[in-house]
Amino acid sequence: MQFTKMHGIGNDYIYVDVFNQKVEHPESLAVKIADRHFGVGGDGLILICPPTSQAATQGAHVRMRMFNADGSESEMCGNGVRCVAKYAFDHRLTTANPVRVETGAGVLTLDLWIERGKVNRVTVNMGKPILKPSEIPVKISGVDQVVNFPWRDVLKLNELPPGPDWIKAAGLEDVMTCVSMGNPHLVLFCKKPENIPLDIVGPHIEKHPLFPRRINVHFVKVHQAGEITMRTWERGSGITLACGTGAAAVCVAGVLAEKTNRIVLANLPGGQLALKWNQADDSVYMTGPATEVFSGQWPED
């Protein structure tokens, strides 16, 4: 099986073109091929497929299926979808610009920035944020939006094994905000995200009963109204260098919590993403790089 390793600011996946080959069991393949010691290594597996007939009628050129490193399938990946668009254009699966990609969160439009005949940056219309608790989903009743919602009584982070001292050391605020960008996100603002014991706090929140489909977790420092720094625990993959849908969710959460502007530069461990929550159409636009690293052959089972 031919594969290509790609990344969006360090959020790396193994990409397989299934226009021209078949993948019978992507869930189990994802676990094997994403292993950083015994496989190719990555945050997961992404299949680049022909669009479904319904999506094709909406103008989709390609379809993205994304599998986390634990084999679970997710709806969307902002960094991954930029790489899908780059692969599709650079490898001539389509010559369209913009490219329309079918995802689990719907058909998205991606504008390509071309340099010397290759894609080097992509702007993605990530769509409208979902804020209704039952649609994120998050099991909190009696509110229209989970914005600046007290977390102590529901998440009990102060009772985790590190003890409550890390909360003070990180300057963690006592409220949380939840947003879906086609997949669920929890945003917590703090003064020092580097002091978060992410390997303990991340999995606790991800699998908390409050979130029936699990959740991606982001700890965010606001430098100023137009710039933030964030650390991420991704559902099904763990600590990652970047999360595109997460950065989009943070952009929305910052506005709702009255901490940031609608245009914000997000600093992630792997690099920077430019975000805009556009008031005119209520959609979030994300611009960032897409990089092809190498290609190879994976042995058939």
Number of domains in the chain: 2
What is the structure's pLDDT at 162? 86
257-289 tens-digit pLDDT: 999 999 999 999 999 999 999 999 999 999 999
Residue 301 has pLDDT above 80, yes or no: no
Q: Tell me how far apart the alpha carbons of residues 251 and 247 are, in angstroms, rounded to a whole number.
A: 6
Catalytic residue among 83, 178, 190, 243: 243
Looking at every residue in the chain, the average pLDDT score rounds to 97
What is the structure's pLDDT at 135? 97
Residue 242 has pLDDT above 80, yes or no: yes
pTM of the predicted structure, to 2 decimals: 0.93
108 & 224 share domain: no
196 & 86 share domain: no
Q: Tell me how far apart the alpha carbons of residues 60 and 103 are, in angstroms, rounded to a whole number.
A: 10
**Catalytic residue check, 190:** no
69 & 166 share domain: no
Which residues, at least 6 apart from 86, have a Cβ–Cβ distance to it below 8 Å?
6, 112, 118, 119, 122, 290, 292
231 & 121 share domain: no
115 & 156 share domain: no
Cα end-to-end distance, the chain, whole Å: 10
155-174 tens-digit pLDDT: 999 999 888 899 999 999 99
Contact (Cβ atoms closer than 8 angstroms) between residue 7 and residue 293: yes
91 & 8 share domain: yes
Q: How confident is the model at residue 218 (pLDDT cuts 50, 70, 90)?
A: very high
What is the structure's pLDDT at 212? 97
* Percentage, residues of the chain above pLDDT 70: 100
- Residue 299, Cβ density class (10 Å: 0-12 exposed, 13-18 middle, ≥19 buried): exposed
Residue 65 has pLDDT above 90, yes or no: yes
73 & 41 share domain: yes
278 & 220 share domain: yes
146 & 96 share domain: no
63 & 142 share domain: no
What is the structure's pLDDT at 284? 98
* Percentage, residues of the chain above pLDDT 90: 96
145 & 100 share domain: no
56-71 mean pLDDT:
97
List the CATH number of the domain containing 88: 3.10.310.10
Q: How confident is the model at residue 154 (pLDDT cuts 50, 70, 90)?
A: very high
Catalytic residue among 49, 77, 178, 190: 77
Q: How confident is the model at residue 153 (pLDDT cuts 50, 70, 90)?
A: confident
137 & 259 share domain: yes
What is the structure's pLDDT at 263? 98
12-34 mean pLDDT:
97
Nearest to 62 by CA among 84, 90, 38, 39: 84
Residue 300 has pLDDT above 90, yes or no: no
Residue 113 has pLDDT above 80, yes or no: yes
Tell me which residue range forms the domain holding 55. 2-125+288-297
What is the structure's pLDDT at 163? 86
